[in-house]
Every structure is written in C-alpha cells, then in structure tokens.
Structure 1
Amino acid sequence: MTDSEPAAADGVSRPARSRRGGKRERLVKAAVQVFHEQGVEKTTLGDVARAADVPLGNVYYYFKTKDQLVEAAVDAHREQIEALTAALDALPDPAARLKALVAGWVDQRETAARFGCPFGTLASELDKRDDDLGEAPAGVMRALLAWAESQFAQLGRADAAALAVELVAAYQGMALLTHTLRDPGLMAAQGERLRSWIESVAGG
C-alpha cells in the first residue's frame, strides 16, 4: 500500500485522500509491528502513535478504541496474505509457488527468532478472548490454507486439503521453535526440508 492513490469519483481530491489515507495506513502498519513485538495486551495507543510518529490525538480520529486498531491489524494481515499470494500466482507452476512461499518464511527467520510468527503470535493471543476479535484471525488463516490447497490441487493431489494443513502447521511449528530457542538457523534448516517435501509431493 502507498500513501498516494488516484482521485476517485467521490470528489475527494488526491492530496486530501493521500494525507488521510497515509496517516491511517502508518498507524495500522505501526500497530502490526508493535503488536508483534510486545503483544496486544502490553501495547497502548500511545505506543502505536509513537511508532507511527503520529500525535496521540490523531489516533483517536481513526480508532476510538484499541480493539478497533487490533481489528485493523488483522485486516492488514489479511491484505498482506492476499497480496503475497497474488504475487506468487505469477510464478509458472504450483510447486514453484509453494517453494517461494516457504522461502519467504525463511527470509523472516531473524524476526521469527526474536518475536515469533507475526500473525501466529497475534492469533494465539486473540484466541484467548471470548469476543468477535477472538474469532477474527481464523479467516486470515483459512485464506492461506485455501490458497495452499489450490496449489496442491493443481499438482493433482486428491489430498490437497490435508497437505495444505500440513504445510501451514509445519511453518507455525518451526516458527514457534525458532522463537522459543532463539535460533534462526532452525527455520533455515526446516525450510529446506519443507522445500524438499514439496518437490516429493509434486513428483508423487
């Protein structure tokens, strides 16, 4: 996402849309980062404002409560998944797309070692709640699973749904171990095993 976007039919000028959209996007991006680094419960709106370099009063203009900001962060993760999978779809074949997905995970191994999986940690924390926010991450995870399932289906696998679960579960597991042991090398090694597994599945 960018701070600039074309003028729309609603009559709002491009500069106005850029200023407002850009500030909100900075706040959401900052929220995603701060929630990942210190968790939702420990994060205040002031923390997010400082990370976004935005006055605290401006945060309340866009988000009346922290829950609204958490919801926006979950939506941002969904948009990131959609953008990522759309980019991967440009690759020539399903196995290449799946291996590129794994490579992207491995590229984030230093971050995973420090803070865990950006979305997995958020989903785990929100799962402890008994409100609508507790259920929100499931939709994001289902979107990733559905995309992975479609790739395995294109490989001709009748067990595509099970393979998609196995792939995503393997990533979440290696992200958790990488974070717990503070060992990015673990994710690199397991990522290589996952790529070999994808090749065997594609050839099987």
Structure 2
Amino acid sequence: MTDSKKASRASGKRERLASAAAQVLHAQGIAQTTLADIAQAAEVPVGNVYYYFKTKDQLVEAAIDAHAQTLRGLIAALDELPTPQDRLKALLNGWVEQRELTAQYGCPTGTLASELDKRADGLDRSIAAVMQTLLDWAERQFREMGRTDARELAVALIAAYQGVSLLTNTFRDPDLMTTEARRLERWIDSLT
C-alpha cells in the first residue's frame, strides 16, 4: 500500500472516530461515554482509538471540531441562497428537520456546551467558539437586512433556538420546535 493510501485511510478513520464521538457524546453525554462506545459507533477496533486519540478529552476536542466542520458546511450551503431572509429561514427549517433528534437528546452543540461549562479545562471555550460562529453568521444576515440592531437580533434568534431545544428535549415534544420555527419565520418577515 502506498503512503498516500495509508494516510488517506488513517485520515478517514480519524474522521469517522471524530464524527462518531460527536454523535455518541450527544446521545450519552461525556461522563457516560466510553472510548469503546465511540469505537463501536465508528466501526473501529477499540485498540485503534488510542492510536488517534490518547484520552477521552482529545475525542471531545475532535467532536467539537466535527461540530465546527458541520457548521461551516451548513453556513456554506446557506450562503448560496439569494437573500438573508431565505438563509435565516433555511436555518430554521434545518432545525425543524432535526426536531426528533432534538426531542430525544437536545441541541448537539448546546448540550455539549452545557456539559463542558462545568469543567475548567478550556474545552468550554472551544465549544463557545463554535456557537460564536453561528452567532456571527446570524448577525451578518440581519446586518444585510439593513438592521442596526443585528447583534441583538442574532442573540435573540440563537437564544430562541436554544430555549426551544431545551423545551423540546425536556417535554420530548418535537412539535414545539416546529411551532417556534414558524413563529421565528414570521418574526424574520416582520423585520424587513
């Protein structure tokens, strides 16, 4: 096997482990998740996990990076839409599409942020940076709409989502997400 094929296979395995870590941590939480759980989800022998990640915290960091990468992909896709209103509404629709998962486990980024906030190892700042990326993107959309209060509106939007995610999860009611998204769409329309 050539060195490039080995590197590609290794990179693919590392990415699978990071993606699996994000999913398993979302479903089980940090404390309940073992390296074996992540290895199983990634379909990688547990011994191989240690080749890529020496500690669970390194896997948590990789999960945060996976969240960031997913968000960057989402933002790139949303930015293809013609207007800021279209982009913001598409974001809302994406949240609605994930409502069953949110009802079961909460917001992937929000629940991880909440867990990491209780630790003093700096990973809380890493997940905050992911949340900051979304907040900054939303602010740009409102600014493009000509709003001088764009930052406040972005905070209101993300806070509404995080709040409804918590309620959707607490009550295990995906319809709450749908209802709030429709209200937020009307709110976005009212801002123009």
1:178 is matched with which residue: 156, 164, 168? Answer: 168
Q: Distance in 1 between matches of 2:53 and 2:121?
A: 18
2:135 is matched with which residue: 136, 142, 145? Answer: 145
Any residues of structure 2 matched to 1:25-174 within 5 Å, and which?
25-174=15-164
TM-score (norm 2): 0.97
CA deviation vs aligned residue, 1:45-75 (integer Å, no higher than 9, x gap): 0110111111111000000000001011111
Alpha-carbon distance, 1:18 to partner: 2.3
Specify the SS of the correspondent of 1:156: coil
Structure 1: gaps (5+ residues): 1-10
Structure 2: gaps (5+ residues): none
CA deviation vs aligned residue, 1:75-125 (integer Å, no higher than 9, x gap): 111111111111100000100000000000010000000011011100100
Q: Distance in 2 between matches of 1:107 and 1:42?
A: 27
Alpha-carbon distance, 1:12 to partner: 4.5
Whichever residue aligns with residue 132 of structure 1, its letter is G
Q: Distance in 1 between matches of 2:30 and 2:11?
A: 23
1:193 lines up with 2:183 in the alignment: yes
Specify the SS of the correspondent of 2:120: coil
Whichever residue aligns with residue 59 of structure 1, its letter is V
Aligned residues: 191
Alpha-carbon distance, 1:21 to partner: 1.0
Whichever residue aligns with residue 39 of structure 2, its letter is A
Alpha-carbon distance, 1:16 to partner: 2.0
TM-score (norm 1): 0.91
